Amino acid sequence: MQNNTPPITSKSFLRTFTIIHLALVAGVLVFGIMSYMLTKNQILSFTYSGDVMFYVVPFMAITGILAGNYLYKNIISGLASKNTLKEKLSGFQTASIIKYALLEGPAFLSIVAFSNEGNQYFLTIALLLLGWLILQRPTRDKVEKDLMLEGSLKSEFQQENKPLV
C-alpha cells in the first residue's frame, strides 16, 4: 500500500493551523450568538446579586489567560533545543492549541453563565476572551518571531512549498 499523503510544507502548515484556529473561534462565536438569541430576560448588571459565577467567571478568564501565556512560553522556550523545523513547528502548534484551549474554556463558561443568569456581564467577558483568542491567530511573522527562527531554519520556513524534514 502506497502513502499518497502530500508532504507538509510551511504553507500547508500555516493554512491547516489557521483553519484550526478559525474553527475554535467560530465555535465560541456561534455558541455565543445562539445563547444570546435564546436567552430571555437579559440584563446588564455589574453588581453582585448572590450568584457565585459573578466571581468565578472573571477568575477563570484571568487564570486562563495567565496560564495559557505561561505554558505557551515554557513550551516555546523548550523548543530551542530542537534541530529541525518540523519539530519546532509541531511544538509551536502544541503550545498554541494549549493556549487557545485555556481561552476557549473560560469563554464557554462565560456563555453558559450568561445563558443561566441572563446577565450580559458574562457575555461581555466572553466577548473579551473571544477578541483575545482572535488576536492569537497564527501568522508567518508570529511563528518566526516566537520560535526565533534564524539562518537555515528561517530560510527553510520562508520557502513555502519546500517539504519539511
Write out pLDDT tens, residues 114-156.
999 999 999 999 999 999 999 999 999 999 999 998 888 888 8
The answer to whether the CB of 92 falls within 8 A of the CB of 79 is yes
Alpha-carbon distance 144 to 85, whole Å? 11
158 inside domain: no
Quote the number of domains for the chain: 1
Alpha-carbon distance 8 to 98, whole Å? 22
155 inside domain: no
113 inside domain: yes
Of residues 97 and 150, the one with the higher pLDDT is 97
Is residue 62 very low, low, confident or very high in pLDDT (cuts 50, 70, 90)? very high
Helices (H), 41-84: 53-78
Of residues 105 and 86, the one with the higher pLDDT is 105
Alpha-carbon distance 108 to 129, whole Å? 10
Does residue 36 carry a pLDDT above 90?
yes
- What average pLDDT does this structure show over 45-63? 93
Residue numbers of the domain that contains 123: 10-34+57-148
Shortest CA distance to 146 belongs to which of 156, 160, 136, 159? 136
Shortest CA distance to 87 belongs to which of 27, 20, 18, 157? 157
137 inside domain: yes
160 inside domain: no
| Range of 30-39, 79-88, 140-149 with top mean pLDDT | 30-39
3 inside domain: no
pLDDT computed for residue 153 by the predictor? 87
39 inside domain: no
- SS3 of the chain: helix, strand, coil, percent, to 5: 75, 0, 25
pLDDT computed for residue 162 by the predictor? 82
Of residues 26 and 160, the one with the higher pLDDT is 26
Alpha-carbon distance 94 to 100, whole Å? 10
Is residue 1 very low, low, confident or very high in pLDDT (cuts 50, 70, 90)? low
5 inside domain: no
Q: Give percent of the chain with pLDDT exceeding 90.
A: 73
